[in-house]
Amino acid sequence: MRQVIWALPLLVAGCATPQPVMSPLTTATVSAKVETQPVASMDDAADDPAIWRNAANPAESLIVATDKRAAIHVYDLKGSKLHSAPSPRLNNVDLRDLGGASGVLVAASDRQDIANAKMALFRLDTVAKQLVPLGSIAVGPGEAYGMCLWRRASDKALFGFVVMKDGRIDQVAMDLTGPVPAGKVVRSMKLGTQSEGCVADDRTGVLYVAEEDVGLWKFDASPDGPVTATALAKADGKEIVMDAEGVALSPAGVDGGYVIVSSQGDNAYAVYKLPQASYVGRFRITDGAIDGVQETDGIELMLGDFGPDFPGGLFVVQDGDNLPQTQNFKLVNWADVVAALGL
């Protein structure tokens, strides 16, 4: 969700100009290496990306991202749009490379019926570089907003988390063995207000969810785990300036690394060190060869070599203000962020 938070104006010579609230904390800067083609839809349309890494040829990796007013797209690492699957109301997206016949599964929150949430499923054909629709899974009442996948380490069982606009989170056990994907809700959790961004850590079984006006929470991702949330970071105008939006992981080792949150209100990203989720810094994507980024919704990060432009990992963010063109996605070399923050 795009939202600009305004500070109380100061009166100067009889007139006042409101200014966006900005965190007082030191904020590093980096620049994007590449930007995608703008989406076709006007206004607030581009939303959330996911990344598939081509291990055999990292520079040929792909990005899947949503235009929530029209379609879900496939981009290459040069930013060119390779394919679109018409899907008028998909919001957040995630994927897992399951290997074998299952291939790369793409799941997105489907809010076409705002009263009844669904997950839309696709297979990413990594040779043709296209999305193949597989159908959808009914989730339950409510407007689907956020979406992320979790693959349990112990048995490779696959689950989807659908975050409803009102803060309810439904966990869906997914079954891909039949001709049509199936699933059932195995439990529900609840945050108090509007929530969206989420990411699940396949290593540790921890689910991270952003409650927009409140901050970052974590849950046990296990379907038989407790449904209570643990607060990690507040949207207090310092580390995170509300809205708290997209969430991404930079995993390291058994349970280390970082979790990153889009601080949409002041066009920045807050970084927390795992496993304690202690605050370590924040950064912005500013003008360089590519224009800077504002009002980010969805973010995604994947470590590893992605070719000469992204040897230290790929960080992809939605750009909520790409004027004079429509919204798009910006691609950042994660190594630049690591250097800027001294991680």
- For every residue of 35-90, DSSP letters joined together read EPPPPSS-SS-EEEEEEE--SS-GGG-EEEEEETTTEEEEEETT--EEEEEE-TTE
For 208-261, the pLDDT digits (tens) are: 999 999 999 999 999 999 999 999 999 999 999 999 999 999 999 999 999 999
Mean pLDDT of 192-208: 98
Beta bridge partners of 330: 35, 317
Pure H helices in the chain: 334-341
- CA nearest neighbour of 204 among 140, 277, 133, 134: 277
Residue 19 has pLDDT above 60, yes or no: no
Phi-psi region of 166 (alpha: psi -120 to 50; beta: other; left: phi over 0): alpha
Q: Residue 164 phi/psi, 5° resolution? A: -80, 155
Residue 325 falls within a domain, yes or no? yes
Mean pLDDT of 309-316: 96
For 24-62, the pLDDT digits (tens) are: 999 999 999 999 999 999 988 999 999 999 999 999 999
Are 65 and 36 within 8 A, CB to CB?
yes
Domain range for 233: 31-341
Torsion of CA 261, 79, 252, 245, to 10 degrees: 10
Mean pLDDT, the chain, whole residue set: 93
| 275: confidence class by pLDDT, cuts 50, 70, 90 | very high
For 74-114, the pLDDT digits (tens) are: 999 999 999 999 988 999 999 999 988 789 999 999 999 99
Residue 24 falls within a domain, yes or no? no
Are 102 and 151 within 8 A, CB to CB?
no
What pTM value is reported for the model?
Answer: 0.93
Q: What is d(CA 155, CA 252) in angstroms, rounded to the nearest whole number?
A: 21
Q: What is d(CA 317, CA 296) in angstroms, rounded to the nearest whole number?
A: 7
pLDDT in the model for residue 4 = 40
pLDDT in the model for residue 17 = 38
Residues sharing a CB contact under 8 Å with residue 7, sequence separation 6 or more, in sequence order? 18, 19, 20, 21
| 293: confidence class by pLDDT, cuts 50, 70, 90 | very high
pLDDT in the model for residue 102 = 82
Residue 18 has pLDDT above 70, yes or no: no
Q: In what order do the strands lie in the sheet with 230-234?
A: 195-201, 206-211, 215-220, 230-234
Residue 3 has pLDDT above 60, yes or no: no
pLDDT in the model for residue 141 = 96
Distances (CA, A) of 255 to 68, 95, 112, 156, 278: 33, 21, 37, 18, 13
Beta bridge partners of 75: 63, 81
pLDDT in the model for residue 101 = 77
Residue 3 falls within a domain, yes or no? no
Residue 178 has pLDDT above 90, yes or no: no
Residue 276 has pLDDT above 80, yes or no: yes
Q: What is d(CA 120, CA 99) in angstroms, rounded to the nearest whole number?
A: 20
Fill in the amino acid letter for 66.
T
Residue 9 falls within a domain, yes or no? no
% residues pLDDT > 90 (the chain): 90
Q: What is d(CA 4, CA 1) in angstroms, rounded to the nearest whole number?
A: 10
Residue 15 falls within a domain, yes or no? no
Tokens standing for 40?
A: 């076709």
Tokens standing for 150?
A: 């979790």
pLDDT in the model for residue 5 = 37
Residue 289 falls within a domain, yes or no? yes
At which residue do the structure tokens 């920045």 appear?
A: 268
| 20: confidence class by pLDDT, cuts 50, 70, 90 | low
Residue 253 falls within a domain, yes or no? yes
Overall number of domains in the chain: 1
- Whichever domain contains 58, its CATH number is 2.120.10.30
For 143-176, the pLDDT digits (tens) are: 999 999 999 999 999 999 999 999 999 999 999 9
pLDDT in the model for residue 291 = 96
pLDDT in the model for residue 207 = 98
168: three-class secondary structure by DSSP: strand
| 21: confidence class by pLDDT, cuts 50, 70, 90 | confident
